């Protein structure tokens, strides 16, 4: 084991070996999963520690709020602070927060812990720019794409995994398991990940002010942020509302819904494919393909009754594939804008994705309640269609 760790560490000095790419992908998936573990089990948490249903909904929103705060206040530091030290700090906070979630019994304490779980999960957005720095220019898109595949798998598999663990061992076991995984990863961080001291010199306040400057002066950053915000809004709308449709219209159990969520994992294969396309110079045509097919993926839902669950499966697979493809294409473009600003560029890009996702998930319940699944299909297709129109009209 020690020899394998040393080999990975040695390979990472001159670039990213295949083993390091797999390790980075696994870490990204495991870290981002921490944000989503609570979503399918909030009713179990609420009944155990005495939360009302209204208060229980704050668990998800506070986790997302914490993640947004981390994106804005922590991720830009990757351009100022040594990367491994920053990752160790966020990982330790994550371990403490997850351990607390597995043990606390007070409502207010659990809500505060949820905020810190989201805040500390931004270490995934420290790993990705680091991978972009370590990867050679010729294979940077492929490398980032492979790592982003791990991130998408973490998002898609976290909910069914959480449901299954909670069914067999209780909801506290979900957070205890996550804390143990983070502990193991933190030890490997220290042994494997190389140090990288940024070249950028500025104060922290100046670093935050520069976010607005970067956004105002880099049209490619603004454009890719807008495109992916629309794509992720559609993604969040679909995956927030489809459990309601499966439970109410098709009478699926929680376990069946968890199994349905696994189909979305097929979309993770888009990451390495899109990375290779970007490296080969096909970013524009691949972006057009991704936004077009994301829009068309909702078509089976407009003729909902004849197609039923197979239509939902098709939408889940194609939508996830297209969202993942467009995300990687955008990252490949923005990382090429300014080497010294990759951390801040990534912070702006990922914040736009979070905003888009928050919009999609926040309107999902209202849209479903007023128009049922056909309205979800219309709204879901409208977001990537808007992104596509902006893309085609771009000068």
User: Does residue 94 share a domain with residue 9?
Assistant: yes
pLDDT above 50 (res 13): no
Continuous H helices in the chain: 2-14, 18-36, 42-49, 53-73, 83-103, 107-120, 124-134, 140-169, 171-192, 204-217, 219-248, 254-261, 270-279, 283-296, 299-302, 304-307, 309-335, 342-393
User: Does residue 185 share a domain with residue 317?
Assistant: no
* Number of domains present in the structure of the chain: 2
Whole-number pLDDT of residue 12 = 46
3-state secondary structure of 380: helix
Position 265 in a domain: yes
User: Does residue 317 share a domain with residue 337?
Assistant: yes
Among residues 167, 198, 229, the one where a domain terminates is 198
In the block, residue with structure tokens 């020899």: 3
Continuous H helices in 249-261: 254-261
User: Does residue 215 share a domain with residue 187?
Assistant: no
What confidence category does residue 272 fall into, taking pLDDT thresholds of 50, 70 and 90? Answer: low
Position 12 in a domain: yes
Q: Domain with 344 in it: what CATH number?
A: 1.20.1250.20
Structure tokens belonging to residue 376: 């979800």
* DSSP structure string for 25-44: HHHHHHHHHHHHTTGGGHHH
Among residues 198, 220, 247, the one where a domain terminates is 198
What confidence category does residue 14 fall into, taking pLDDT thresholds of 50, 70 and 90? Answer: very low
Whole-number pLDDT of residue 148 = 76
User: Does residue 259 share a domain with residue 390?
Assistant: yes
What confidence category does residue 381 fall into, taking pLDDT thresholds of 50, 70 and 90? Answer: very high
User: Does residue 254 share a domain with residue 150?
Assistant: no
Domain that holds residue 111: 1-198
What confidence category does residue 271 fall into, taking pLDDT thresholds of 50, 70 and 90? Answer: low
**Torsion from C-alpha of 54, 60, 62, 63, nearest 10 degrees:** 160
What rounded mean pLDDT belongs to the chain?
A: 84
User: Does residue 94 share a domain with residue 62?
Assistant: yes
What confidence category does residue 383 fall into, taking pLDDT thresholds of 50, 70 and 90? Answer: very high
pLDDT above 60 (res 202): yes
User: Does residue 188 share a domain with residue 214?
Assistant: no
Q: Give the number of other Cβ atoms within 10 Å of residue 229's Cβ.
A: 23
User: Does residue 140 share a domain with residue 10?
Assistant: yes
As a whole-number percent, the residues of the chain with pLDDT over 70 amount to 90
Q: Could you tell me if 374 and 306 are in contact, meaning their C-beta atoms sit under 8 angstroms apart?
A: no
What confidence category does residue 117 fall into, taking pLDDT thresholds of 50, 70 and 90? Answer: very high
Whole-number pLDDT of residue 369 = 82
Name which of 55-64, 163-172, 207-216, 290-299 the model is least confident about: 55-64
- The residues, ordered by sequence, that sit 6+ positions from 245 with a Cβ below 8 Å of its Cβ are 312, 368, 373, 376
- The residues, ordered by sequence, that sit 6+ positions from 251 with a Cβ below 8 Å of its Cβ are none
Structure tokens belonging to residue 304: 């909902």
Position 283 in a domain: yes
Among residues 198, 218, 235, the one where a domain terminates is 198
What confidence category does residue 267 fall into, taking pLDDT thresholds of 50, 70 and 90? Answer: low
Digit-coded pLDDT (tens) for 31-73: 999 998 987 787 788 889 988 766 776 787 788 788 888 988 8
Structure tokens belonging to residue 95: 């371990």
What confidence category does residue 11 fall into, taking pLDDT thresholds of 50, 70 and 90? Answer: very low
3-state secondary structure of 15: coil
Euclidean distance between CA atoms 33 and 390, whole angstroms: 31
User: Does residue 231 share a domain with residue 191?
Assistant: no
User: Does residue 172 share a domain with residue 282?
Assistant: no
What confidence category does residue 173 fall into, taking pLDDT thresholds of 50, 70 and 90? Answer: very high
What is the pLDDT averaged over residues 188-213? 80
285 vs 8, higher pLDDT: 285
As a whole-number percent, the residues of the chain with pLDDT over 90 amount to 31
pLDDT above 50 (res 99): yes
Backbone angles phi, psi at 360, to 5 degrees: -60, -45
Digit-coded pLDDT (tens) for 328-361: 889 889 988 987 788 788 888 988 887 888 788 7
Euclidean distance between CA atoms 146 and 25, whole angstroms: 7
* Predicted structure pTM score: 0.77
């Amino acid at each position: 084991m020690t020899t394998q760790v040393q080999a990975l560490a040695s390979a990472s000095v001159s670039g990213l070996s295949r083993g390091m790419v797999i390790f980075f992908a696994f870490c990204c998936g495991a870290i981002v999963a921490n944000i989503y573990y609570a979503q399918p089990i909030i009713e179990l948490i609420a009944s155990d520690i005495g939360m009302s249903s209204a208060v229980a909904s704050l668990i998800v929103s506070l986790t997302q709020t914490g993640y947004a705060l981390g994106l804005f206040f922590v991720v830009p530091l990757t351009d100022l602070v040594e990367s491994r030290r920053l990752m160790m700090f966020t990982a330790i906070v994550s371990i403490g927060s997850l351990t607390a979630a597995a043990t606390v019994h007070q409502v207010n304490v659990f809500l505060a812990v949820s905020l810190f779980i989201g805040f500390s999960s931004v270490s995934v957005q420290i790993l990705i720019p680091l991978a972009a720095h370590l990867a050679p220019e010729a294979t940077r898109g492929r490398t980032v794409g492979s790592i982003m595949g791990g991130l998408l798998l973490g998002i898609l598999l976290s909910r069914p995994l959480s449901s299954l663990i909670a069914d067999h061992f209780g909801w506290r076991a979900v957070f205890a398991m996550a804390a143990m995984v983070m502990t193991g990863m933190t030890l490997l961080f220290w042994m494997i990940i190389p140090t990288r001291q940024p070249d950028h010199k500025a104060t922290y306040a100046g670093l935050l002010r520069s976010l607005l400057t970067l956004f105002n002066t880099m049209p490619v950053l603004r454009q890719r942020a807008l495109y992916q915000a629309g794509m992720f809004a559609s993604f969040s709308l679909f995956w927030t509302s489809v459990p309601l449709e499966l439970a109410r219209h098709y009478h699926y159990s929680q376990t069946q819904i968890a199994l349905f969520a696994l189909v979305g994992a097929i979309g993770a294969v888009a990451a390495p494919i899109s990375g290779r396309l970007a490296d080969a110079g096909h970013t524009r045509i691949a972006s057009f393909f991704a936004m077009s097919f994301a829009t068309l993926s909702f078509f089976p839902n407009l003729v909902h009754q004849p197609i039923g669950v197979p239509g939902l499966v098709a939408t889940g697979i194609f939508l996830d594939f297209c969202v993942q493809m467009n995300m990687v294409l955008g990252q490949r473009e923005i990382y090429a804008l300014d080497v010294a600003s990759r951390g801040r560029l990534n912070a702006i890009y990922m914040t736009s994705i979070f905003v888009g996702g928050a919009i999609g998930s926040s309107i999902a319940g209202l849209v479903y309640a007023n128009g049922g699944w056909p309205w979800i299909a219309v709204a879901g297709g409208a977001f990537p269609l808007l992104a596509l129109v902006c893309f085609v009209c771009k000068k």
